[in-house]
Amino acid sequence: MEHISPLIQELALILVTAGAASVLFKWLKQPVVLGYIVAGIILSFFITEDNPEYKNIETWAEIGIIFLLFGLGLEFSFKKLMSVGATAFVSALFLVISMIGLGYLTGICFGWSSMTSLFLGAMICMSSTMIIIKVFDDLKLTSKNFAGIVLGILIIEDLVAVLLMVLLSTVAVSNKFEGKEMLFSFFKLSTFLLFWFILGTYLIPTFLRKTKRFLNDETLLIVSLAFCLGMVFLATSAGFSSALGAFIMGSILAETLDSERIEHAILPIKNFFGAIFFVSVGMMVQITSLSTYIVPILVISVVVILGQMTFATIGVLLSGQNLKTAVSAGFSLSQIGEFSYIIAALGMSLGVIQESLYQIIVSASVITIFTTPYMMRFATPVNAFLEKKLPVNWQNFLNKNASGAHPVNQNNLWKKLLTDMGRIVLIYYFISIVIVNSSLAYAVPFIQGWLPGLKGNILVAAVTVLIIAPFLRAVIIKKNHSIEYTTLWNESKSNRGPLISTIIFRAIICAGLIMYLLFKLLHTNLVIDFALAAVILVLTTFSQHTKTRSRAMENRFKENLNEKEKYHESKAPLTKGFVNHVLERDLHLSEFAIEPYFSIVGKTLKELNFRQIFGVSIVTILRGPFRINIPNGNERIYPNDHVVVLGTDKQMELFQTRLEEKRKKYENLGESSVPKVKMQQFQITPESQLIGETIRTSGIQEIYDCLVIGIERNEFSIQDPDLDLVLAEGDIVWVIGEYSNILKICEL
């Protein structure tokens, strides 16, 4: 008998248990993640850390983390991070910092070590993206104004979680808080993130465009996984975690036009390995010892619920939103997220946290996840209570800054010029530094292997200078002919000195980088280095070839960075300016898909009268590739239309209820109850009412929705009979239709 590998046996055991638990939790209408954790708890009775099989499960779990973070990166994107706005940034940072502090104090109160307390704060400072999105869908909250703020906060929390994983690893390894070491780790992480984001954005979208005709779903999946695991290798080689590499590659691919296809292709793999990871989380829970930790489990659960709710509400208020939006957002974030398990596993692997903390945090996570839907529902009565009990002047104070975007002074030319210059210098000079250091670290040993001595170093120096020349030219030249620079130059002679000094400063730092490269490779003195650097910069600045390369590289990067945004803007029903203008008020826009069974299908907007009944306005109707902006009253609603609606939260809620009033009826309609079409024959008897009627006048087609496909008369067969054919006694009629209707025809 053929022997089955233990790896396959363990995988089968995991999937059987996880599958049964997930079906059970679906039936109970609970998050599937909890089902996986319960499956792991069940398996923990059979497979413990002492078993050799446990190591294989840890390997599966590590793969699960990689694909989970890759999937989160695909949903993240750095462009999305920049677009979530000040509200999400202020709220998320306030919430994360406050919860880390609260978690740390809670751990200290329990008598835990500083390291364990710090890890506790990191575990409870982030909410669950997966759970919140699911509950939003279940409770029909996605069209609410606060939902966008919550999702923006979750995006920033995802990035903070990745940064925390790296920083906590540094602290754990040194086992102490050293500001210098932490600063170096943060700089190293920032450098790694920025370099690969820039290089990835420059290369990968172009590669996907060039190979688009070869990338069917199968090939795209393989290529995406290759990118993911390649970045995992690079991240681990640089001293970072595999999860960080997967997240970075996901965020790079999220900027491409193929991101949705990649996300769709990777989803089954992400779900598969994600399930294994969450099962492994459950396996680390020792159910028999939970009674020992019941007090910290309950305390931490209460700390998370009340802390997240309070600090998130305050954070959203501080960002300028009104009280109602802040309360709704705060009550939505009151649970422990998936990253907590990853951070807990990190602490366990480094041996810096107590094993009991893992048991506690997973148990508290289960409790807070169960309470999430109830907390979201509880936000409405709490908000009503506050509006009723709070003094009017307090409410006015809390709501006075809820005005949306604040205008920026665009007339400050110096501020705009220096800001733009600073950004350009930071990006291009940073790229040049990375290239120079990479050449010294990797190119020199490689070249010296087959061209030793000074000749090899001269070759490395020449190639490196040629590579960084377009970037150095951009540092020196960019913005020197901009409108701001020209206006300031012509406006006053007193501006010319500072303007020239900006060019001199940029030239000096570029010369310094070249001098550093030459000194390391050629070991020349300062005077020769400076002279060579000056000559190189002059040639670089005035070289037409370098100018062309610099502009081509910049245009390609901008094209790749903005291609997805431009594509979606071309398909969007409304401009960004209009959307931002609307968001400054209590109104917001939501898009609704019209299902074929909705009761509004086939009716005109005039008949539906949405504005008078609900107060909402239909701004746009999206119909396939066509867009109908500001439709008139005679426009009809058709199946599979998408309507963009303008209104307040309350108006949207009433509109959605009306829109989907038939959803439950059709959701509960099982496949077995759907009438099926079949082919059947019947004979016209002497007493039948059909004798003497034509097929057209008999009502077989018009009344009973059946199709006559043939008639047998005497010894002849008539296929596809004419509608004016008269039916006679003894005819055998072949019809296609629903069986119940055919029976009714036979009774005529």
C-beta atoms surrounding 640 within 10 Å: 12
Query: What CATH number corresponds to the domain at position 282?
Result: 1.20.1530.20
Residue 14 token pair: 């995991």
C-beta atoms surrounding 415 within 10 Å: 13
H/E element holding 711? strand 707-713
Indicate the SS3 state at residue 324. Answer: helix
Determine, yes or no, domain membership for 398.
Answer: no
Determine, yes or no, domain membership for 363.
Answer: yes
Work out the burial of residue 651: count CB atoms within 10 Å of its CB; fewer than 13 is exposed, 13-18 middle, 19 or more buried: buried
Determine, yes or no, domain membership for 569.
Answer: no
User: How many Å apart are CA 160 and CA 129, to the nearest integer?
Assistant: 13
Domain match, 292 and 354 both: yes
Q: Which residue has the tokens 């008998």?
A: 1
Question: What's residue 670's pLDDT?
Answer: 46
User: How many Å apart are CA 748 and CA 744, to the nearest integer?
Assistant: 7
Determine, yes or no, domain membership for 400.
Answer: no
User: How many Å apart are CA 303 and CA 124, to the nearest integer?
Assistant: 9
Q: What is the DSSP letter of 3?
A: P
CA-closest candidate to residue 734, choices 701, 714, 715, 707: 707
Q: What is the DSSP letter of 721?
A: -
Say how many residues make up the chain.
748
Determine, yes or no, domain membership for 393.
Answer: no
Q: What is the DSSP letter of 714?
A: T
User: How many Å apart are CA 273 and CA 292, to the nearest integer?
Assistant: 32
For the chain, what percent of residues have pLDDT higher than 90? Answer: 3
Domain match, 688 and 643 both: no
Domain match, 661 and 707 both: no
Indicate the SS3 state at residue 683. Answer: strand
Domain that holds residue 728: 675-746
Task: Name the phi and psi angles at 209, rounded to 5.
Answer: -70, -45
User: How many Å apart are CA 262 and CA 362, to the nearest integer?
Assistant: 31
Number of structural domains found in the chain: 4
Domain match, 649 and 515 both: no
Domain match, 263 and 195 both: yes
Determine, yes or no, domain membership for 570.
Answer: no
Domain match, 324 and 181 both: yes
Task: Name the phi and psi angles at 215, rounded to 5.
Answer: -95, 85
- Strand pairing report for 588-593 and 642-647: antiparallel
Query: What CATH number corresponds to the domain at position 690?
Result: 3.30.70.1450
pLDDT < 50 regions, the chain: 1, 402-411, 574-585, 669-672
Domain match, 343 and 239 both: yes
State which of 508, 532, 564 marks the end of a domain.
Answer: 564
Work out the burial of residue 385: count CB atoms within 10 Å of its CB; fewer than 13 is exposed, 13-18 middle, 19 or more buried: exposed
What b/e string do you get for 545-555 counting C-beta neighbours within 10 Å, with b at 16 or more?
Answer: ebbebbeeebe
Residues 35-38: contacts with CB under 8 Å, at least 24 apart: 36/275, 36/278, 36/279, 36/281, 36/282, 37/278, 37/279, 37/281, 37/282, 37/285, 37/362, 37/366, 38/282
What amino acid is encoded at 385 in this protein? F
State which of 611, 640, 667 marks the end of a domain.
Answer: 667
Alpha helices by DSSP H, 286-354 = 294-318, 323-332, 339-350
Asked if residue 157 lies in contact with residue 132, where contact means CB atoms within 8 angstroms, the answer is no
Residues sharing a CB contact under 8 Å with residue 331, sequence separation 6 or more, in sequence order? 309, 313, 375, 376, 378, 379, 382
Residue 720's region, left for phi above 0, alpha for psi from -120 to 50, else beta, is: left
Domain match, 178 and 327 both: yes
Domain match, 350 and 446 both: no
Asked if residue 91 lies in contact with residue 150, where contact means CB atoms within 8 angstroms, the answer is no
Domain match, 647 and 604 both: yes
Task: Name the phi and psi angles at 121, rounded to 5.
Answer: -60, -40
Residue-by-residue DSSP string for 187-253: HHHHHHHHHHHHHHHHHHHHHHHHTGGG--HHHHHHHHHHHHHHHHHHHHHTT--HHHHHHHHHHHH
**How far from 147 is each of 137, 185, 195, 257, 593, CA to CA, in Å?**
11, 34, 33, 25, 18
Residues sharing a CB contact under 8 Å with residue 465, sequence separation 6 or more, in sequence order? 514, 517, 536
Determine, yes or no, domain membership for 186.
Answer: yes
> Residue 458, CB half-sphere, CA atoms under 13 Å: how many?
6
Asked if residue 357 lies in contact with residue 347, where contact means CB atoms within 8 angstroms, the answer is yes
User: How many Å apart are CA 532 and CA 526, to the nearest integer?
Assistant: 10
Question: What's residue 130's pLDDT?
Answer: 67
Domain match, 590 and 700 both: no
Domain match, 155 and 232 both: yes
State which of 387, 407, 439 marks the end of a domain.
Answer: 387
**β-sheet bridge partners, residue 636:** 604
Asked if residue 518 lies in contact with residue 461, where contact means CB atoms within 8 angstroms, the answer is yes
Determine, yes or no, domain membership for 406.
Answer: no
C-beta atoms surrounding 228 within 10 Å: 28
Question: What's residue 346's pLDDT?
Answer: 78
- Radius of gyration from C-alpha coordinates of the chain: 33
What b/e string do you get for 236-273 counting C-beta neighbours within 10 Å, with b at 16 or more?
Answer: eeeebbbbbbbbbbbbbbbbbbbbebbbebbeebbeeb
